[in-house]
Amino acid sequence: MKAVNQQLARASISGYRQATGAPAARGTERVHSAGTIRRGFVVVPLAVLFMFSGVFFPADAAAKEGVQLAPLEGARPAQWRVIWTDDPAHRATVSWNTAAPGKEHRVHFKAAEAGEWTVVECDRNGRFTGREDSPVLYYHHCRLTGLKPATKYSLVMESDGTKSPEFYFVTAPDDDRTVRLLFGGDSRSDRPMRQKMNQMLSGLLADQPSIVALAHGGDYIVNGYNLAQWSAWMSDHELTATADGRLLPIVPTRGNHDFGPIFNEIFGFPQDDENYYGFNLAGDVRLLTLNTEVSTAGEQALWLEDELAHWRPKCEWLLAQYHRPAFPAIKMPSSAKRDWVPLFEKFNVDVVLEADGHNIKRTPPIRDGQVDSTGVVYLGEGGLGVKQRTPLSKRWFLQPPGFSSMGHHVQLLTFEKDRLTAQVIRYGGEVADESVIVPHERRQALAHAASARKPVALEQ
Ligand SMILES: [Fe+2]
């Protein structure tokens, strides 16, 4: 069966190349059929294993020998990234690194249709914290504000007169149009695979322009104090850009390997920031990023409760991401289970994104420690460049209609008005799992209707 499906996978990719040609395919949005929603269940596995859809792995990436990464030379910009931590419809942080400190660092940007370039000076420059044997590396962060939603912005980074190539990024929309989010974690210890996964992300972004960002669930590297490892990760992040220069914004989460000050230096957080924050990916989609590496109780839990209470009535889709799972496929539950899960259930969070385990998992909807169609779905657990582990599939929350597997992968979430589709895309393009979640009001209505029908069924 598996061999047959592998042949199907090759045929699918080959057929796509022949039909379209890989470069020409870019820019063509592909919306996948979500299938039928079964009554009484909120999350519906659809052709769970080995289903192949039109999700496309870039033809040239798999076969590419070696990769082109910008060299770190003097004040030449390299290791570029767009970072979203606040209101990405109107703001973004554009960051890069140089080998020399330089004196003047600025971004030239403009709305793609506009004629005039605007120049903004970097507001934060400094040398990365490192050990004696660390590379010498300088970061530059430029805060762009006053941006228009859902708008393409061209940009060029400049340090001491040396300019980067021209790139662009697209701000988040503020209306209820369909948007997509990539989610993945754990890119820490298999660099060749990390590079291949980044090339796959680039292909997905080119193929599906409604992808707005990559939410990275943490554990970028092995040792958070090791600047050489971080430097390699930042260079590899260049590979997420599309061939025509679109940068994939990153929404960073701190993992247990990402300890120390370098994390905040890379992603432009204040020095002692605790890395939990929230913003809208679209008018109707709110993403909360949490931090399992500081106290999950206390101020963070209070902040989470305030956020959920404020945004639940305002958004169709409410999701959270963090590193160490509440419902792990391998390890023991983190304190997120004690401190956050009751809040997720109280406010009917739609999806929770977890990392750390190095496997693929999707739980059924969970409430009060059991499967409940009005509950919360947990997805995970990291496969952006790390050796995979075998999930403990006998755990109750991994049993069907839950799902567990392993393999390098990324999660692709599609937010539409009436449904949220979650796909697991393996390296190579296979859709290993696909499920649909309906809005929380409908989940509860379906559950109510199902319970109302039960007495009738018993009387018959
Ligand atoms: Fe981890």
CB of 287 closer than 8 Å to CB of 278:
yes
- What local confidence, expressed as pLDDT, does residue 454 receive? 61
b/e 175-192 (16+ beta carbons within 10 angstroms → b): ebeebbbbbbbbbbbbbe
- What local confidence, expressed as pLDDT, does residue 266 receive? 98
Per-residue pLDDT, averaged over 235-256, amounts to 98
Per-residue pLDDT, averaged over 70-88, amounts to 97
CB of 284 closer than 8 Å to CB of 385:
no
CB of 185 closer than 8 Å to CB of 226:
no
Evaluate if residue 14 carries a pLDDT over 70.
no
Evaluate if residue 21 carries a pLDDT over 80.
no
The Cα–Cα gap between 124 and 109 comes to 18
Q: What is the pLDDT of residues 27-57, one digit of tens each?
A: 334 333 322 233 223 343 433 333 333 333 3
**Ligand 1 centre distance from Cα of residue 37 (Å):** 34
b/e 61-94 (16+ beta carbons within 10 angstroms → b): beeeeeeebbebeebbbbbbbbbbbebbbbbbbb
- What local confidence, expressed as pLDDT, does residue 112 receive? 83
Per-residue pLDDT, averaged over 2-16, amounts to 28
Evaluate if residue 59 carries a pLDDT over 60.
no
Judged on CB neighbours under 10 Å (0-12, 13-18, 19+), 323 is buried
Using omega within 30 degrees of 0 as the cis cutoff, is the peptide bond preceding 455 cis? no
**Ligand 1 centre distance from Cα of residue 256 (Å):** 5
**Ligand 1 centre distance from Cα of residue 307 (Å):** 25
Evaluate if residue 449 carries a pLDDT over 80.
yes
**Ligand 1 centre distance from Cα of residue 252 (Å):** 14
Per-residue pLDDT, averaged over 158-176, amounts to 98
- What local confidence, expressed as pLDDT, does residue 310 receive? 98
197 Cβ contact partners less than 8 Å away, ≥ 6 residues apart: 184, 187, 383, 384, 385, 408, 410, 427
**Ligand 1 centre distance from Cα of residue 86 (Å):** 24
**Ligand 1 centre distance from Cα of residue 322 (Å):** 10
Evaluate if residue 456 carries a pLDDT over 80.
no
- What local confidence, expressed as pLDDT, does residue 90 receive? 98
The Cα–Cα gap between 451 and 407 comes to 38
Query: How high is the mean pLDDT of the chain?
Result: 87
- What local confidence, expressed as pLDDT, does residue 166 receive? 97
Evaluate if residue 174 carries a pLDDT over 50.
yes
Q: What is the pLDDT of residues 406-415, one digit of tens each?
A: 999 999 999 9
**Ligand 1 centre distance from Cα of residue 139 (Å):** 25
The Cα–Cα gap between 202 and 204 comes to 5
The Cα–Cα gap between 88 and 192 comes to 31
Domains of the chain: 45-60+177-447 (3.60.21.10), 78-170 (2.60.40.380)
Per-residue pLDDT, averaged over 77-85, amounts to 98
Evaluate if residue 250 carries a pLDDT over 60.
yes
Which pair of tokens denotes residue 385? 């460049």
Q: What is the pLDDT of residues 95-119, one digit of tens each?
A: 999 999 999 999 999 998 888 999 9
**Ligand 1 centre distance from Cα of residue 293 (Å):** 10
**Ligand 1 centre distance from Cα of residue 126 (Å):** 28
Evaluate if residue 291 carries a pLDDT over 50.
yes
Evaluate if residue 358 carries a pLDDT over 70.
yes
**Ligand 1 centre distance from Cα of residue 324 (Å):** 6
- What local confidence, expressed as pLDDT, does residue 413 receive? 98
Evaluate if residue 211 carries a pLDDT over 50.
yes
Side-chain-facing half-sphere of 58: CA atoms under 13 Å: 25
- What local confidence, expressed as pLDDT, does residue 103 receive? 97
Q: Comparing C-alpha atoms, which of 220, 247, 241, 242 is closest to residue 231?
A: 220
The Cα–Cα gap between 324 and 281 comes to 23
The Cα–Cα gap between 360 and 422 comes to 12
pLDDT band at 65 (very low <50, low <70, confident <90, very high): low
In one letter, which amino acid is 102? G
Higher pLDDT, 236 or 1: 236
CB of 57 closer than 8 Å to CB of 428:
yes
**Ligand 1 centre distance from Cα of residue 437 (Å):** 27
